[in-house]
Amino acid sequence: MAIKTSLFGGGDQHLIGMDISSSSVKLLELTRKGERYHVETYAVEPLPPNAVSDKQIAEPKLVAEAIGRAVNRAGTRTRQVAVAVSGAAVISKIIEMPASLSDDEMEEQIRAEADQYIPYPIDEVNIDFEIVGKNGKNSEMVDVLLAACRKEQVDQRGAALELAGLKPKIVDIETYALENASLFLEHQMPDGGKGRTVAIVDIGANTTSVLILHDRHTIYTRDQAFGGRQLTEEIMRHYGMSFDEAMRAKHDGSLPEDYASDVLPNFVADVAMQIDRSLQFFFSAVTQYTHIDQLILAGGCARIAGIDTEIQERLRIPTVIARPFAQMSVGARARPANLAKDEASLLIACGLAFRAFDEPKK
Ligand SMILES: Nc1ncnc2c1ncn2[C@@H]1O[C@H](COP(=O)(O)OP(=O)(O)OP(=O)(O)O)[C@@H](O)[C@H]1O
Ligand SMILES: [Mg+2]
């Protein structure tokens, strides 16, 4: 699959956003009427442990089966999909190119100079680029966003989707998907995010992604290898449970009483410490910023009761749980009661589903 045209492609079309993450496959389909968004269908299907490991699809068949179940459960007939790649296999950076070049010439030059930008052999990567604006220093140059991903990662996702009877249409980068999803969180930002510094923290099973926006534009991103898996492992150790037992008990709240006093608080304290660490990295990397106006928690771990209050108290930053669907209408097919429970985990899926509407940029 060529990443060019697909990475930045889009337009009004029927499209499923599919977040293939480490603990589950999350499907979301949005439609738009005027300015209003509507949730058509959604589904979350758990994945067996290690089917997706370290951002790689280790078990394509198991992943394809989970995708197939998600499609059935959602009841969608749409077959075109937007997926995301992430992690060490993805490189995105702004480079400078002469403004006079045509698209084809630019591609030729980027390929010729690729070893300056990309630490992998050129025939092992898919490349895409987009002119983002004039270069501030030299009027004869333009700033170009270069995105590259190891073919392996793109192909793995494509293969799992095709095995499930779907068509990979757009390959996005997770950070961009999170950035696009932040549009649906503006109602939770002071002044709708205008002039404000807002941190979105997605705490998944294995990865915590921090995205910091100023005036609604991304100014910093960071991924940490930390997530709900640490809590699952602590439950397994503390109560002598298997992974499956620990997951079940963790989700249905059936753990012994000392869980709330002896196990959970340590994890929440770790979450606060990890977020604080990322923010400190941000403040030292981008020194004109010294505070965060709003923290928005997302990912499955945001479902832990009271985690927002606890983080707010520890970090002294106003904190809320992400509610991307608060201003959308929800169709009956999307099972509104279930959707409400999964809401905070669906940010990446939201950003991917949103690709159905963006204007082709070239
Ligand atoms: N009600 C809940 N209480 C506590 N933890 C929960 C709850 N629901 C989900 N989780 C945890 O959230 C994590 C899954 O979150 P999410 O679906 O965002 O992860 P993911 O996207 O698959 O992971 P990653 O992005 O790291 O690949 C798991 O560790 C799960 O146990
Ligand atoms: Mg995730």
Q: Measured between alpha carbons, how far is residue 43 from residues 40, 74, 118, 238, 338 in Å?
A: 11, 5, 36, 32, 9
Alpha carbon of 146 to ligand 1 centroid (Å):
31
Range of 102's domain?
Answer: 90-151
The answer to the question of residue 96 being in a domain is yes
Which pair of structure tokens corresponds to residue 298?
């997302």
Of the bound ligands, which one is closest to the alpha carbon of residue 55? Answer: 1
Of the bound ligands, which one is closest to the alpha carbon of residue 244? Answer: 1
The answer to the question of residue 127 being in a domain is yes
Work out the widest C-alpha separation in the chain, in whole angstroms.
68
Q: Give residue 6's pLDDT.
A: 47
Place of tokens 């990397």: 285
Alpha carbon of 205 to ligand 2 centroid (Å):
7
The answer to the question of residue 193 being in a domain is no
The answer to the question of residue 337 being in a domain is no
Asked if residue 34 has pLDDT above 90, the reply is no
The answer to the question of residue 136 being in a domain is yes
- The arithmetic mean of pLDDT across residues 336-350, rounded, is 97
Asked whether 229 lines ligand 1 (CB < 6 A), one says yes
Asked whether 345 lines ligand 1 (CB < 6 A), one says yes
Alpha carbon of 96 to ligand 2 centroid (Å):
32
Asked whether 23 lines ligand 1 (CB < 6 A), one says yes
Q: Give residue 256's pLDDT.
A: 95
The answer to the question of residue 199 being in a domain is no
Asked if residue 251 has pLDDT above 60, the reply is yes
The answer to the question of residue 207 being in a domain is no
CATH number, position 141 = 3.30.1490.300
Q: Number of folded domains in the chain?
A: 1
Q: What long-range pairs does 152-157 form, CB within 8 A, spacing at least 24?
A: 152/56, 152/89, 152/124, 153/55, 153/56, 153/85, 153/87, 153/89, 153/90, 154/1, 154/3, 154/85, 154/126, 155/1, 156/56, 156/57, 156/60, 157/20, 157/57, 157/83, 157/85
Q: What pLDDT, in 10s, does the model give residues 142-195?
A: 999 899 999 999 999 999 999 999 999 999 999 999 999 999 999 999 999 999
Collapsing DSSP states into helix, strand and coil, what is residue 331?
coil
Contact, 173 vs 127, CB < 8 A? no
Query: pLDDT exceeding 70 applies to what percent of the chain?
Result: 96
Q: What pLDDT, in 10s, does the model give residues 296-312?
A: 999 999 999 999 999 99
The answer to the question of residue 231 being in a domain is no
Asked whether 299 lines ligand 1 (CB < 6 A), one says yes
pLDDT greater at residue 1 or residue 145 = 145
